[in-house]
Amino acid sequence: MTEYVFDTSALIAYLQDEEGAETIAGLLGKALDGEVRIFISTITALEVFSVSVKTRGKAVAEERLELMEDLPLIEEPLVPDLRRIIGEMQFSIINGITAIKRLDFADSCIAGLARSKNAVLVHRDRHFKSVENEIEQLPLPYHEYG
């Protein structure tokens, strides 16, 4: 069974009926039919709430969290087994010494979940290009949030 991890950007596209929403809706339909499994990180739920408060207000943010609870999403908490994976996603180590930042903390948590599940990462975030050789991805049309 194919497994997916939705990044915050993918869920926002769906919730706001933006470009890429039809792809997300199709995957959610497959999950309802038991054809695929879709995971989100607890970080994704937190980001959906905070982005929604910032752009749409607290009432909309609350509605979105309630809607997400009704979707066929499996929320995965940050567990100890993910610590190393998340750390590796956040930084590249060169010559065993130098750490170069690749992803911010939230993106590292989401990418780390995809890596740990060997799942396809669904997103519309340019930052994930830095790990495109490590994680299978389904990029949606990009969109910047302000």
Q: What distance in Å separates the CA atoms of residue 70 and residue 8, rounded to the nearest whole number?
A: 17
Amino acid 76 reads E
Please check whether residue 91 is in contact with residue 77, taking contact to mean a CB–CB distance below 8 angstroms: no
Task: List, in order of start, the domains of the chain with CATH numbers.
Answer: 2-139 (3.40.50.1010)
Among 74, 71, 76, 6, residue whose Cα is nearest residue 32:
71
Q: What is the per-residue pLDDT across 69-91, written as a single tens digit (0 to 9) for each?
A: 999 999 999 888 888 888 887 77
Please check whether residue 121 is in contact with residue 89, taking contact to mean a CB–CB distance below 8 angstroms: no
Q: What distance in Å separates the CA atoms of residue 27 and residue 47, rounded to the nearest whole number?
A: 21
Give pLDDT tens digits along the chain (146 positions).
999 999 999 999 999 999 999 999 999 999 999 999 999 999 999 999 999 999 999 999 999 999 999 999 999 998 888 888 888 877 766 556 666 667 889 999 999 999 999 999 999 999 898 888 889 999 999 765 54
Cα torsion through 138, 140, 144, 146, rounded to 10: -90
